[in-house]
Chains A and B, each alone.
Chain A
């Protein structure tokens, strides 16, 4: 089967022969041809084809009109600035001279999340510490009343006993039933 080789732009391996091209092949490279991306040999082939083919001439006219319309659209674009605003230029220089601050500013969401996490952890840690401190301070402690040294100050012993008895949570060990008499110590022990 004798198949017509496809024409291709300069950048591809191309058929350099002067065989007749199909319209389909020509149209595939019309834009390349019109924008001077085809080599001279292939451009000659396209030119030659266009001289005889009205359909392909119409295709060229369509592309040309499209390009003209695009250019006219571009001409009506007013107000595209030629320069960056002074504010933007200063911002660039600032970013170059303060890279860390710039990074923080540009990643403010991430930074905010990290800061929030740190604050939450710090608050949590403080609350936990307070809780531990409270627990420690409310743990069962033993107070010895009537220590031999206190015998010299009976007023202190009496005061302590009065205060302890006023607290509902305190039970005097001496009040507990079945408490054996201590012979080694002369003191009473309370737990709360």
Chain B
């Protein structure tokens, strides 16, 4: 349907672009799935978010589709925004859900999705991480798990390098204090 009215050259260029795009998906899908799963705590949702991120990449990326630090930063940024959008929607739904459950005198915890398991020993640290703001969580995940430099985090988030250091310093301080409170340290 889309090919109607396209010249042979246009068709060939489009096919090449889709092929290049496919290579990008293969290269970054694992990284993005891991990153998003740590934000949304649900692997199914992570798949949806990453799918949406790649669709946006194809529609909005005007330069050549070739693996590069710029494209990875762009993907991290868009994936994060999509994940945050999802969390906000889920939050609004949960408010309604809790309100409805209260009316019925019962509460059903939200489904975190199958396959999400965490050991007792590490649960406290994960719980403390979840208590941080979304911005702090993002920076901790990028620094600690994705092992990005402050410069790379700055490119992804749009924050200044100094701000990245500042937020991370206070996030780690907050986490250490919380872990001390629950006697994990």
A89 closest partner in B (C-beta)? B25
Q: Residues of A contacting B117 with CB < 8 Å?
A: 76-79
A123 interface residue (CB < 8 Å to B): no
Chain A positions 34 through 52: 1 when the CB is less than 8 Å from some CB of chain B, otherwise 0 = 0101000000000000000
**Contact flag A84-B168 (CB < 8 Å), given A11-B150, A69-B124:** no
- Number of A residues whose C-beta is below 8 Å from B? 44
A65 interface residue (CB < 8 Å to B): yes
| A85-B115 Cα distance, complex, nearest whole Å | 15
B84 interface residue (CB < 8 Å to A): no
In the complex, are the beta carbons of B43 and A81 less than 8 A apart?
A: yes
In chain B between 90 and 139, which residues have their CB closer than 8 angstroms to a CB of chain A?
114-119, 121-126, 129
**Contact flag A69-B150 (CB < 8 Å), given A80-B34, A92-B55:** no
B66 interface residue (CB < 8 Å to A): no
| A37-B149 Cα distance, complex, nearest whole Å | 7
Query: For the complex, would chain A's binding face be called helix, strand, loop or mixed by DSSP majority?
Result: helix
In the complex, are the beta carbons of A67 and B47 less than 8 A apart?
A: no
| A37-B152 Cα distance, complex, nearest whole Å | 12
Q: Residues of B contacting A63 with CB < 8 Å?
A: 172, 176
| A83-B46 Cα distance, complex, nearest whole Å | 11
Q: Residues of A contacting B168 with CB < 8 Å?
A: 31
Q: Residues of B contacting A66 with CB < 8 Å?
A: 125, 172, 175-176, 179, 185
**Contact flag A74-B145 (CB < 8 Å), given A69-B179, A79-B43, A84-B51:** yes
B140 interface residue (CB < 8 Å to A): yes
A88 interface residue (CB < 8 Å to B): yes
| A180-B137 Cα distance, complex, nearest whole Å | 99
A72 closest partner in B (C-beta)? B122
In the complex, are the beta carbons of B165 and A70 less than 8 A apart?
A: no
Q: Residues of A contacting B161 with CB < 8 Å?
A: 9, 11
In the complex, are the beta carbons of B118 and A77 less than 8 A apart?
A: yes
The 4 closest A-B pairs by CB, nearest first: A79-B115, A73-B122, A69-B125, A11-B161
